[in-house]
């Protein structure tokens, strides 16, 4: 299945983008379907107060924005690179024809959509009913599960900083800084210039608990 996706998008030019480059702007029709080969891309909205609100983060081999392509839903989000990234860009019509001809690829896409929806629903529950600490714990845990890199000592390294955590958790940077200090005191994480180190993701999950 993965080889089919790679073969389809492999017909299109490989493009490069640096950090913080906007690939798609809110309110504009995307130029096509982006297939992420390397790097990370965030999807976000801008609140009425001018704050960035991250709703999703993509990693390879994601392709987006599919709601716009399948349902002709107007695009209301920005898509911006978090890291240096490479991608291929296919016309929406050709991508839809490829999906219709390959139901196994559609099933895999649907599986990932449901997995992402489950994460969004859980995030929504925490945003609506949790404390700042549990909201922050949830975002750190999600980042660790999706993008973490295990180190030789068994801990997990996550390249994310206070500003990005604040955007994803819907908190101010000052609140994130204060709550991170408390979480460090619980001996759950270490924080330095490179990001966050999670000592044991399972203990982080336990600390998160069912606090809604």
Kindly state whether residues 44 and 109 are assigned to the same domain. yes
Contact (CB, 8 A) for 136 and 171: yes
Question: How many domains, in total, are found in the chain?
Answer: 2
Cβ neighbors of 14 (< 8 A, separation 6 or more) are 37, 86, 87, 88
Nearest to 78 by CA among 28, 128, 118, 35: 28
- Which CATH number fits the domain that encloses residue 199? 1.10.10.10
- Which CATH number fits the domain that encloses residue 88? 2.60.120.10
DSSP output for 137-166: HHHHHHHHHHH-EE-TTS-EEE---HHHHH
Q: Is the pLDDT of residue 212 over 50?
A: no
Kindly state whether residues 139 and 201 are assigned to the same domain. yes
Kindly state whether residues 20 and 110 are assigned to the same domain. yes
Kindly state whether residues 136 and 98 are assigned to the same domain. no
Kindly state whether residues 101 and 145 are assigned to the same domain. no
Q: Which of 62, 97, 123 is the last residue of a domain?
A: 123
Kindly state whether residues 37 and 96 are assigned to the same domain. yes
Kindly state whether residues 54 and 101 are assigned to the same domain. yes
At 77-114, the pLDDT tens digits run: 999 999 999 999 999 999 999 999 998 887 887 777 76
**Can you tell me the distance from the alpha carbon of 145 to that of 141, in angstroms, rounded to the nearest whole number?**
6
pLDDT recorded at residue 52: 77
Kindly state whether residues 102 and 198 are assigned to the same domain. no
Kindly state whether residues 80 and 55 are assigned to the same domain. yes
pLDDT recorded at residue 129: 55
Residue 160 domain boundaries: 132-208
Q: Which of 97, 123, 149 is the last residue of a domain?
A: 123
Q: Which of 96, 123, 150 is the last residue of a domain?
A: 123
Predicted TM-score of the model (pTM)? 0.67
Residue with tokens 């999706």: 146
Kindly state whether residues 139 and 101 are assigned to the same domain. no
At 22-79, the pLDDT tens digits run: 999 999 999 999 999 999 999 988 876 677 778 888 989 899 998 899 888 889 999 9
Kindly state whether residues 44 and 107 are assigned to the same domain. yes
């Amino acid at each position: 299945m993965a080889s089919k996706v790679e073969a389809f998008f492999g017909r299109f030019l490989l493009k490069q983008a640096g950090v913080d480059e906007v690939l798609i702007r809110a309110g504009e029709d995307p130029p096509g379907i982006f297939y992420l080969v390397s790097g990370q891309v965030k999807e976000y909205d801008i609140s009425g107060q001018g704050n960035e609100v991250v709703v999703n983060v993509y990693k390879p081999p994601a392709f987006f924005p599919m709601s716009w392509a399948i349902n002709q839903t107007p695009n209301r989000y920005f898509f911006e690179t978090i890291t240096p990234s490479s991608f291929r860009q296919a016309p929406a019509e050709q991508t839809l024809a490829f999906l219709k001809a390959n139901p196994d690829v559609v099933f895999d896409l649907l599986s990932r959509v449901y997995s992402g929806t489950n994460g969004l629903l859980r995030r929504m529950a925490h945003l609506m009913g949790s404390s700042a600490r549990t909201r922050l714990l949830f975002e750190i845990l999600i980042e660790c599960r999706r993008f973490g890199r295990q180190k030789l000592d068994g801990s997990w390294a996550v390249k994310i900083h206070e500003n990005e955590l604040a955007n994803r958790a819907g908190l101010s940077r000052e609140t994130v800084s204060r709550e991170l200090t408390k979480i460090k005191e619980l001996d759950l994480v270490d924080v330095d210039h490179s990001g966050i180190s999670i000592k044991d993701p399972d203990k982080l999950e336990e600390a998160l608990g069912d606090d809604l």
